[in-house]
Amino acid sequence: MAEKNTRKPAAQERKEKKRTGPSPAELKEILEWSRSHLQPYVQDEMSTYDHIKRILFAFIWPLRVIGCIIPGFLWGVIMRLHVALMPSGLYRFQKVYMMWLESWLALISIYFLGLHVHVHGKFAPRMKDGRWIPIVANHQSFFDIYSLVTQRKISYVARADTVDFPIFGVGSVNSDCVFVDRQAAASRDKARAQIKKRIEDPEAISPLVVFPEGTTTNGKYVVPFKTSIFETGSPVQPVIIEYAHNHRRIGWCQVSLLEHVRIVGSQFHTRVDVHVLPVYTPTQEELDNPGLYAENVRQYMAKQGKLQLSEVKTRNSFNLVKALAGKISLDELKRLYDESHAVNLN
Protein backbone atom coordinates (compact mmCIF):
# COMPACT_ATOMS: atom_id res chain seq x y z
CA MET A 1 0.00 0.00 0.00
CA ALA A 2 1.33 3.44 -0.90
CA GLU A 3 2.10 5.73 1.99
CA LYS A 4 -0.27 8.66 2.46
CA ASN A 5 1.28 11.95 1.42
CA THR A 6 1.12 14.23 4.48
CA ARG A 7 3.21 16.99 2.94
CA LYS A 8 1.50 20.38 3.04
CA PRO A 9 0.92 22.24 -0.22
CA ALA A 10 3.82 24.55 -1.12
CA ALA A 11 1.57 27.64 -0.99
CA GLN A 12 0.49 26.79 2.57
CA GLU A 13 4.10 26.20 3.65
CA ARG A 14 5.16 29.60 2.26
CA LYS A 15 2.25 31.29 4.03
CA GLU A 16 3.18 29.72 7.36
CA LYS A 17 6.82 30.72 6.96
CA LYS A 18 5.85 34.33 6.27
CA ARG A 19 3.54 34.53 9.27
CA THR A 20 5.09 35.94 12.41
CA GLY A 21 3.41 36.01 15.78
CA PRO A 22 0.38 34.03 16.95
CA SER A 23 -2.50 33.09 14.68
CA PRO A 24 -5.73 35.13 14.90
CA ALA A 25 -7.30 32.42 17.06
CA GLU A 26 -4.28 32.33 19.39
CA LEU A 27 -4.21 36.13 19.54
CA LYS A 28 -7.86 36.17 20.56
CA GLU A 29 -7.17 33.66 23.34
CA ILE A 30 -4.20 35.69 24.63
CA LEU A 31 -6.21 38.92 24.74
CA GLU A 32 -9.26 37.30 26.34
CA TRP A 33 -7.12 35.83 29.11
CA SER A 34 -5.15 39.07 29.54
CA ARG A 35 -8.29 41.18 29.93
CA SER A 36 -9.20 39.21 33.03
CA HIS A 37 -5.69 38.80 34.49
CA LEU A 38 -3.42 41.57 33.15
CA GLN A 39 -5.95 44.41 33.19
CA PRO A 40 -3.49 47.36 33.52
CA TYR A 41 -1.60 46.34 30.39
CA VAL A 42 -4.46 45.70 27.96
CA GLN A 43 -5.94 48.40 25.76
CA ASP A 44 -9.62 49.13 25.31
CA GLU A 45 -11.20 47.37 22.37
CA MET A 46 -11.75 49.53 19.29
CA SER A 47 -15.33 50.71 18.87
CA THR A 48 -17.07 51.51 15.59
CA TYR A 49 -16.27 55.17 16.26
CA ASP A 50 -12.56 54.32 16.63
CA HIS A 51 -12.57 52.46 13.32
CA ILE A 52 -14.21 55.46 11.61
CA LYS A 53 -11.58 57.80 13.07
CA ARG A 54 -8.83 55.48 11.90
CA ILE A 55 -10.12 55.81 8.35
CA LEU A 56 -10.67 59.58 8.60
CA PHE A 57 -7.17 60.20 9.95
CA ALA A 58 -5.38 57.70 7.69
CA PHE A 59 -3.71 60.50 5.73
CA ILE A 60 -3.78 63.15 8.45
CA TRP A 61 -1.93 61.50 11.33
CA PRO A 62 1.34 61.04 9.38
CA LEU A 63 1.33 64.78 8.63
CA ARG A 64 0.75 65.52 12.31
CA VAL A 65 3.67 63.26 13.22
CA ILE A 66 5.94 65.08 10.77
CA GLY A 67 4.91 68.37 12.36
CA CYS A 68 5.66 66.85 15.77
CA ILE A 69 9.11 65.62 14.73
CA ILE A 70 10.37 68.85 13.14
CA PRO A 71 10.70 70.85 16.43
CA GLY A 72 12.35 67.85 18.10
CA PHE A 73 14.76 67.46 15.21
CA LEU A 74 15.59 71.18 15.38
CA TRP A 75 16.29 70.90 19.11
CA GLY A 76 18.49 67.85 18.51
CA VAL A 77 20.52 69.68 15.87
CA ILE A 78 21.02 72.71 18.13
CA MET A 79 21.99 70.42 21.00
CA ARG A 80 24.56 68.57 18.90
CA LEU A 81 26.07 71.84 17.69
CA HIS A 82 26.52 72.96 21.29
CA VAL A 83 28.14 69.65 22.20
CA ALA A 84 30.42 69.74 19.14
CA LEU A 85 31.57 73.27 19.95
CA MET A 86 32.02 72.45 23.65
CA PRO A 87 33.14 68.80 23.93
CA SER A 88 34.09 69.28 27.59
CA GLY A 89 30.44 69.93 28.46
CA LEU A 90 27.97 72.79 28.59
CA TYR A 91 28.15 75.57 31.13
CA ARG A 92 25.31 75.85 33.62
CA PHE A 93 23.70 78.86 31.89
CA GLN A 94 23.79 76.96 28.58
CA LYS A 95 22.01 73.98 30.13
CA VAL A 96 19.33 76.29 31.54
CA TYR A 97 18.90 77.92 28.13
CA MET A 98 18.67 74.55 26.38
CA MET A 99 16.08 73.33 28.87
CA TRP A 100 14.03 76.47 28.26
CA LEU A 101 14.28 75.90 24.49
CA GLU A 102 13.38 72.24 24.96
CA SER A 103 10.24 73.27 26.85
CA TRP A 104 8.98 75.53 24.06
CA LEU A 105 9.80 73.09 21.27
CA ALA A 106 8.11 70.24 23.19
CA LEU A 107 5.00 72.42 23.49
CA ILE A 108 4.97 72.95 19.72
CA SER A 109 5.57 69.25 19.07
CA ILE A 110 2.65 67.93 21.08
CA TYR A 111 0.41 70.73 19.82
CA PHE A 112 0.81 69.28 16.31
CA LEU A 113 -0.51 65.95 17.64
CA GLY A 114 -3.53 67.63 19.21
CA LEU A 115 -2.32 67.42 22.84
CA HIS A 116 -3.16 70.42 25.04
CA VAL A 117 -1.74 70.46 28.58
CA HIS A 118 -3.52 71.96 31.60
CA VAL A 119 -1.79 72.07 34.99
CA HIS A 120 -3.64 71.94 38.30
CA GLY A 121 -1.62 72.80 41.42
CA LYS A 122 1.90 74.13 41.87
CA PHE A 123 5.29 72.47 41.60
CA ALA A 124 7.39 72.72 44.75
CA PRO A 125 10.35 75.14 44.86
CA ARG A 126 13.79 74.14 46.08
CA MET A 127 14.11 73.10 49.70
CA LYS A 128 15.98 75.35 52.13
CA ASP A 129 19.21 73.43 51.58
CA GLY A 130 18.97 74.00 47.82
CA ARG A 131 17.85 70.51 46.86
CA TRP A 132 14.93 69.83 44.55
CA ILE A 133 12.06 67.61 45.65
CA PRO A 134 11.80 64.69 43.19
CA ILE A 135 8.57 64.22 41.25
CA VAL A 136 6.85 60.82 41.05
CA ALA A 137 4.21 60.37 38.36
CA ASN A 138 2.00 57.69 36.90
CA HIS A 139 3.05 56.49 33.46
CA GLN A 140 0.75 55.74 30.54
CA SER A 141 2.13 57.37 27.41
CA PHE A 142 5.29 58.18 25.47
CA PHE A 143 4.13 61.78 25.76
CA ASP A 144 4.13 61.93 29.59
CA ILE A 145 7.61 63.45 29.57
CA TYR A 146 6.58 65.92 26.86
CA SER A 147 3.60 67.00 28.97
CA LEU A 148 5.84 67.70 31.97
CA VAL A 149 8.68 69.29 29.98
CA THR A 150 6.26 71.87 28.57
CA GLN A 151 5.54 73.09 32.09
CA ARG A 152 8.96 73.24 33.75
CA LYS A 153 12.62 72.26 33.47
CA ILE A 154 13.04 68.62 34.47
CA SER A 155 15.43 65.70 34.32
CA TYR A 156 14.19 62.14 34.40
CA VAL A 157 15.09 58.50 34.84
CA ALA A 158 15.26 56.90 31.39
CA ARG A 159 16.09 53.60 29.73
CA ALA A 160 19.77 53.06 29.04
CA ASP A 161 19.24 52.94 25.27
CA THR A 162 17.75 56.46 25.28
CA VAL A 163 21.27 57.85 24.80
CA ASP A 164 21.35 56.15 21.38
CA PHE A 165 18.20 57.88 20.10
CA PRO A 166 19.17 59.99 17.07
CA ILE A 167 17.38 63.15 18.21
CA PHE A 168 16.79 62.90 21.95
CA GLY A 169 19.88 61.01 23.11
CA VAL A 170 22.31 63.91 23.35
CA GLY A 171 19.65 66.10 24.95
CA SER A 172 18.86 63.56 27.65
CA VAL A 173 22.56 63.38 28.56
CA ASN A 174 22.90 67.15 28.87
CA SER A 175 19.66 67.34 30.86
CA ASP A 176 21.38 65.34 33.63
CA CYS A 177 19.08 62.35 33.20
CA VAL A 178 19.74 59.07 35.02
CA PHE A 179 19.94 56.00 32.77
CA VAL A 180 19.11 52.45 33.81
CA ASP A 181 19.19 49.08 32.06
CA ARG A 182 16.20 47.23 33.50
CA GLN A 183 17.65 43.87 32.46
CA ALA A 184 20.98 44.28 34.29
CA ALA A 185 21.11 44.11 38.08
CA ALA A 186 24.42 46.01 38.17
CA SER A 187 22.86 48.83 36.15
CA ARG A 188 19.91 49.03 38.53
CA ASP A 189 22.23 49.24 41.54
CA LYS A 190 24.22 51.97 39.81
CA ALA A 191 21.00 53.83 39.00
CA ARG A 192 19.98 53.78 42.68
CA ALA A 193 23.28 55.40 43.60
CA GLN A 194 22.92 57.96 40.80
CA ILE A 195 19.37 58.81 41.83
CA LYS A 196 20.44 59.37 45.43
CA LYS A 197 23.41 61.51 44.34
CA ARG A 198 21.24 63.49 41.94
CA ILE A 199 18.57 64.21 44.55
CA GLU A 200 21.11 65.28 47.16
CA ASP A 201 22.85 67.69 44.76
CA PRO A 202 21.99 71.32 45.71
CA GLU A 203 23.54 72.50 42.42
CA ALA A 204 21.15 70.47 40.24
CA ILE A 205 19.40 72.62 37.65
CA SER A 206 16.04 70.88 37.79
CA PRO A 207 14.05 68.29 39.77
CA LEU A 208 14.23 64.62 38.85
CA VAL A 209 11.08 62.95 37.51
CA VAL A 210 10.60 59.25 38.25
CA PHE A 211 7.89 56.92 36.98
CA PRO A 212 7.98 54.36 39.82
CA GLU A 213 5.64 51.93 38.04
CA GLY A 214 8.54 51.11 35.73
CA THR A 215 6.38 50.81 32.61
CA THR A 216 3.29 52.26 30.97
CA THR A 217 -0.29 51.18 31.70
CA ASN A 218 -3.64 51.84 30.04
CA GLY A 219 -4.29 54.71 32.45
CA LYS A 220 -6.98 53.03 34.56
CA TYR A 221 -4.68 51.55 37.20
CA VAL A 222 -1.68 52.20 39.41
CA VAL A 223 0.58 49.14 39.57
CA PRO A 224 3.20 48.37 42.29
CA PHE A 225 5.97 50.96 42.60
CA LYS A 226 9.69 50.31 42.37
CA THR A 227 11.35 51.50 45.58
CA SER A 228 14.54 53.16 44.25
CA ILE A 229 13.34 56.74 44.67
CA PHE A 230 11.80 55.99 48.08
CA GLU A 231 15.01 54.41 49.38
CA THR A 232 16.59 57.88 49.32
CA GLY A 233 14.29 59.00 52.15
CA SER A 234 13.56 62.26 50.33
CA PRO A 235 10.10 63.84 50.31
CA VAL A 236 8.40 63.44 46.92
CA GLN A 237 5.83 65.42 44.97
CA PRO A 238 3.21 63.12 43.43
CA VAL A 239 1.87 64.08 40.00
CA ILE A 240 -1.04 62.44 38.22
CA ILE A 241 -1.16 62.70 34.43
CA GLU A 242 -4.61 62.21 32.93
CA TYR A 243 -5.49 62.01 29.24
CA ALA A 244 -9.13 62.99 28.78
CA HIS A 245 -11.07 60.53 26.64
CA ASN A 246 -14.60 60.16 25.41
CA HIS A 247 -14.21 56.72 23.94
CA ARG A 248 -10.90 54.83 23.81
CA ARG A 249 -7.99 55.50 26.18
CA ILE A 250 -4.64 56.25 24.55
CA GLY A 251 -2.43 54.41 27.04
CA TRP A 252 0.75 52.93 25.54
CA CYS A 253 0.49 49.24 26.27
CA GLN A 254 0.23 46.10 24.18
CA VAL A 255 1.16 48.00 20.98
CA SER A 256 4.31 49.35 19.31
CA LEU A 257 5.43 52.96 19.66
CA LEU A 258 4.36 53.66 16.07
CA GLU A 259 0.86 52.34 16.72
CA HIS A 260 0.68 54.34 19.96
CA VAL A 261 1.60 57.52 18.08
CA ARG A 262 -0.99 56.67 15.43
CA ILE A 263 -3.68 56.32 18.10
CA VAL A 264 -2.74 59.68 19.63
CA GLY A 265 -2.51 61.36 16.23
CA SER A 266 -5.94 60.02 15.25
CA GLN A 267 -7.75 61.93 17.99
CA PHE A 268 -9.47 65.19 17.12
CA HIS A 269 -8.19 66.69 20.36
CA THR A 270 -6.68 65.28 23.56
CA ARG A 271 -6.75 67.26 26.78
CA VAL A 272 -3.90 66.41 29.14
CA ASP A 273 -4.53 67.28 32.79
CA VAL A 274 -1.43 67.36 35.00
CA HIS A 275 -2.54 67.22 38.63
CA VAL A 276 0.30 68.41 40.88
CA LEU A 277 -0.36 67.13 44.41
CA PRO A 278 1.10 68.47 47.68
CA VAL A 279 4.55 67.28 48.71
CA TYR A 280 4.46 63.93 50.53
CA THR A 281 6.87 63.86 53.48
CA PRO A 282 7.62 60.36 54.82
CA THR A 283 7.11 59.42 58.45
CA GLN A 284 9.86 57.76 60.45
CA GLU A 285 8.15 54.41 59.90
CA GLU A 286 8.21 55.00 56.14
CA LEU A 287 11.86 56.08 56.26
CA ASP A 288 12.69 52.78 57.96
CA ASN A 289 10.64 50.83 55.40
CA PRO A 290 10.95 52.14 51.79
CA GLY A 291 8.46 49.51 50.61
CA LEU A 292 5.82 50.92 52.96
CA TYR A 293 6.71 54.45 51.84
CA ALA A 294 6.26 53.49 48.17
CA GLU A 295 2.96 51.70 48.83
CA ASN A 296 1.49 54.59 50.83
CA VAL A 297 2.36 57.07 48.08
CA ARG A 298 0.84 54.70 45.51
CA GLN A 299 -2.40 54.45 47.46
CA TYR A 300 -2.46 58.22 47.96
CA MET A 301 -2.06 58.82 44.20
CA ALA A 302 -4.71 56.24 43.34
CA LYS A 303 -7.18 57.87 45.72
CA GLN A 304 -6.49 61.41 44.51
CA GLY A 305 -6.57 60.40 40.84
CA LYS A 306 -9.57 58.08 41.24
CA LEU A 307 -7.52 55.24 39.79
CA GLN A 308 -7.74 51.54 40.59
CA LEU A 309 -4.99 49.73 42.46
CA SER A 310 -3.61 46.62 40.80
CA GLU A 311 -1.05 44.14 42.10
CA VAL A 312 -0.10 42.87 38.63
CA LYS A 313 3.64 43.45 38.41
CA THR A 314 5.57 45.20 35.65
CA ARG A 315 7.21 42.02 34.35
CA ASN A 316 3.78 40.79 33.20
CA SER A 317 3.56 43.72 30.80
CA PHE A 318 6.80 42.67 29.10
CA ASN A 319 5.67 39.04 29.02
CA LEU A 320 2.39 40.04 27.36
CA VAL A 321 4.30 41.86 24.62
CA LYS A 322 6.38 38.72 24.06
CA ALA A 323 3.24 36.59 23.82
CA LEU A 324 1.63 38.96 21.31
CA ALA A 325 4.82 38.77 19.23
CA GLY A 326 4.76 34.97 19.30
CA LYS A 327 7.95 34.70 21.37
CA ILE A 328 6.21 32.81 24.18
CA SER A 329 3.01 30.78 24.25
CA LEU A 330 -0.15 31.52 26.22
CA ASP A 331 0.70 28.64 28.56
CA GLU A 332 4.11 30.20 29.23
CA LEU A 333 2.46 33.60 29.80
CA LYS A 334 0.12 32.02 32.35
CA ARG A 335 3.00 30.24 34.09
CA LEU A 336 5.01 33.45 34.41
CA TYR A 337 1.93 35.25 35.72
CA ASP A 338 1.37 32.54 38.35
CA GLU A 339 5.01 32.85 39.44
CA SER A 340 4.78 36.63 39.88
CA HIS A 341 1.42 36.28 41.64
CA ALA A 342 2.92 33.72 44.03
CA VAL A 343 5.66 36.23 44.88
CA ASN A 344 2.97 38.83 45.64
CA LEU A 345 1.24 36.42 48.01
CA ASN A 346 4.51 35.68 49.78
At 104, which amino acid appears?
Answer: W
Q: Which residues pair with 239 in a beta bridge?
A: 137, 276
For the segment 103-137, what is each residue's pLDDT rounded down to a tens digit? 898 899 999 999 999 999 999 999 999 999 999 99
What percent of the chain lies above the pLDDT cut of 70?
85
* pLDDT value of residue 332: 95
Q: Taking the domain 48-310, which CATH number applies?
A: 3.40.1130
CA atoms within a 13 Å half-sphere pointing along the CA-CB vector of 105: 20
For the segment 323-333, what is each residue's pLDDT rounded down to a tens digit? 999 999 999 99
- Look at strands 237-243 and 270-276 and give their pairing: antiparallel
Instruction: Indicate the pTM of the whole model.
Output: 0.86
Q: How confident is the model at residue 17 (pLDDT cuts 50, 70, 90)?
A: very low
Instruction: Kindly tell me if the per-residue pLDDT of 180 is higher than 50.
Output: yes
Q: Where are the domains of the chain?
A: 48-310, 311-346
Instruction: Kindly tell me if the per-residue pLDDT of 36 is higher than 90.
Output: yes
CA-based nearest residue to 208, from 239, 244, 230, 178? 178
- Angle at which helix 24-37 crosses helix 330-345, to 10 degrees, equals 10
Q: Which helix (H) or strand (E) holds 193?
A: helix 185-199
Q: Which residues pair with 157 in a beta bridge?
A: 178
Average pLDDT, the chain: 86
